[in-house]
């Protein structure tokens, strides 16, 4: 765990604008721990717009600390582990007449683990041995987190399973009925061993040990590849990719105060766009910004999304979605005005760079949609460069400035700028604008992705 950093008194300007966990002290006593999407805004809200619970302790606070995290999921998990470790007295609160939330890992008579959420550490009505992880403060955020982690580590939520595949099986979220065979086949026995290993990794992630899980998966992949078991190694690689995507891209924390979501709404767009002009070196007045994201889970139903903000506000009537059809060794030919200008091999495996390239090229082939002054890309330097290459192929689109947000390292890459800008160093208005754009693009891509998967399931 990173070391806690402190600010003097209540100098909120020294707090970061990133996700993480914050600490309130009264003298030397730690009295409250909280999590936040934006530490600076959340801590300020405690003092400037206190709730009835805040009024119980806020006047006692004389020291504030914080730990930054790379994602909201990491903040949620870190908060749970720190509350369990320190048990601050003002974290012992009741929510809707219920206690904190816990993730329970139990086993049935066949010693097959299953996962569920509970308020009770011990089941009173029947004897049940379970491993409890928590406490988690926010139930909705915990449910979202488990929903996303289930994509990387499919698990059962009940101690039994029907003989037929359930809906979650078809969505690759459930291991299926095979592990319940009695007597078990050799394949079922091996599948159960792998499932138990996956559950152990899920537990480690919920305990805040994501790095250990990723290192373990990478070692497994190398061993399999060394033994020429390339298919199995590929599955591990896909699991690593899915886990990294989940941890970096997922939004699970509920905003505690809607006024903290966007300084763009509180300040004039003219001021915000001038600041953005300076950062991007865009000589044109910024009116339209587009943000792109790729939704790709295990290589199936790959989709691209484009959301549009006009004068700092989303214009959903102009959103676009792109269905990408990854066929083995297919060569995507992208053209503008009938002229061939780019080829990209998609293949039948996840390739976010190629998919992003296709999405942007297809979008830029539509000048009737109006071109933006700024294009925001979800990703790092590789995604930035591919977007620049595509838009520079056309004289009309070259004036567009491209920026990209790397959430893993919490940095903003800007076209023609050598070094990235740490997100915490961005002006508040620009930080919130970029974050809102990226969140909206990811939400829109995931929504379309789910629609395609549901449609495919019903066919």
Any residues with CB less than 8 A from the CB of 224 and at least 6 apart, and which?
Answer: 230, 232, 233, 236
For the cut 80, the answer to whether the pLDDT of residue 292 exceeds it is yes
CB 360 within 8 A of CB 292: yes
**Token pair belonging to 88:** 């601050």
Asked if 108 and 53 count as a contact pair (C-beta separation under 8 A), the reply is no
Q: Average pLDDT of 84-91?
A: 87
CB of 433 within 8 A of CB of 264? yes
In the predicted structure, residue 280 carries a pLDDT above the cut 60? yes
The gap between the terminal CA atoms of the chain, to the nearest Å, is 47
Mean pLDDT, residues 330-346: 43
Looking at residue 343, its pLDDT comes to 47
Rounded Cα distance between 77 and 141, Å, is 10
Second CATH level (architecture) for the domain 262-458: 2-Layer Sandwich (3.30)
CA-nearest of 410, 313, 294, 423 to 358 is: 294
Where does the chain hold its CATH 3.40.1440.10 domain(s)? 5-91
| 156 or 8, higher pLDDT | 156
Residue-wise pLDDT tens digits, 12-22: 888 998 899 99
Cα–Cα distance, 166 to 212 (Å, whole number):
32
**Can you tell me which residue has the tokens 């037929």?**
164
Q: Which residues pair with 401 in a beta bridge?
A: 374
Please state, in angstroms and rounded to a whole number, the distance separating the CA atoms of residues 22 and 331: 49
Confidence of residue 95 (pLDDT cuts 50, 70, 90): very low
Give this prediction's pTM: 0.53
Architecture in CATH of 5-91 = 3-Layer(aba) Sandwich (3.40)
Q: Checking DSSP bridges between strand 421-422 and strand 411-414, what pairing results, if any? A: antiparallel
HSE-up (13 A, CA, CB side) for residue 125: 1
* Radius of gyration of the CA atoms of the chain, in A: 24
pLDDT band at 116 (very low <50, low <70, confident <90, very high): very high
Average confidence (pLDDT) over 181-201: 90
pLDDT of residue 457: 55
Whether the per-residue pLDDT at 286 is higher than 80: the answer is yes
- For residue 372, name the pLDDT band (cuts at 50, 70, 90): very high
pLDDT value at 235 more than 60:
yes
Beta bridge partners, 290, equal: 308, 375
At 9 the pLDDT is 73
Residue 287 has pLDDT above 90, yes or no: yes
- Confidence (pLDDT) at 272: 86
Q: Which DSSP state fits 71?
A: S
- The ranges of the chain annotated as CATH 3.30.420.340 are 262-458
Question: pLDDT value at position 264?
Answer: 45
């Amino acid at each position: 765990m990173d070391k806690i950093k402190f600010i003097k008194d209540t100098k909120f300007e020294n707090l970061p604008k990133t996700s993480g966990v914050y600490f309130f002290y009264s003298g030397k006593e730690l009295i409250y721990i909280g999590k936040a999407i934006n530490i600076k805004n959340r801590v300020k809200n405690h003092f400037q717009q206190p709730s009835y619970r805040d009024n119980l302790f806020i006047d006692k606070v004389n020291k504030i600390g914080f730990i930054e995290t790379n994602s909201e999921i990491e903040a949620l998990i870190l908060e749970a582990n720190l509350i369990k470790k320190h048990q601050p007295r003002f974290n012992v609160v009741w929510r809707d007449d219920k206690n904190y939330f816990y993730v329970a890992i139990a086993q049935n008579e066949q010693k097959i683990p299953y996962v569920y959420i509970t308020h009770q550490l011990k089941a009173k009505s029947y004897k049940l041995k379970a491993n409890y992880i928590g406490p988690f403060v926010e139930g909705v955020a915990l449910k979202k987190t488990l929903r996303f982690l289930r994509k990387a580590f499919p698990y059962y939520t009940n101690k039994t399973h029907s003989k037929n595949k359930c809906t979650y099986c078809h969505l690759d979220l459930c291991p299926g009925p095979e592990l319940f065979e009695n007597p078990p086949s050799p394949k079922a026995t091996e599948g159960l061993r792998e499932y138990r290993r996956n559950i152990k990794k899920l537990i480690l992630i919920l305990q805040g040990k994501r790095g250990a899980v990723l290192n373990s998966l990478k070692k497994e992949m190398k061993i399999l590849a060394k033994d020429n078991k390339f298919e199995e190694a590929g599955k591990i690689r896909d699991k690593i990719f899915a886990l990294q995507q989940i941890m970096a891209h997922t939004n699970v924390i509920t905003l505690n105060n809607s006024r903290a979501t966007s300084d763009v709404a509180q300040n004039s767009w003219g001021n915000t766009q001038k600041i953005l002009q300076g950062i991007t070196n865009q000589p044109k007045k910024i009116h339209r910004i587009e943000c792109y994201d790729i939704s790709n889970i295990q290589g199936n139903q790959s989709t691209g999304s484009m959301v549009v903000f006009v004068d700092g506000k989303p214009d959903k009537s102009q959103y676009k979605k792109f269905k990408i059809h990854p066929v083995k060794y297919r060569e995507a030919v992208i053209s503008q005005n009938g002229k061939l200008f780019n080829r990209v091999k998609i293949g039948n495996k996840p390739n976010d760079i190629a998919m992003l390239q296709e999405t942007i090229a297809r979008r830029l082939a539509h000048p009737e949609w109006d071109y933006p002054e700024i294009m925001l890309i979800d990703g790092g330097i590789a995604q930035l460069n591919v977007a620049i290459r595509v838009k520079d192929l056309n004289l009309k689109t070259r004036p567009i400035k491209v920026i990209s947000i790397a959430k893993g390292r919490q940095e903003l890459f800007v076209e023609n700028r050598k070094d990235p800008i740490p997100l915490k160093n961005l002006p508040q208005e620009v930080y919130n604008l970029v974050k809102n754009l990226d969140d909206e693009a990811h939400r829109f891509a995931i929504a379309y992705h789910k629609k395609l998967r549901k449609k495919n399931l019903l066919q």
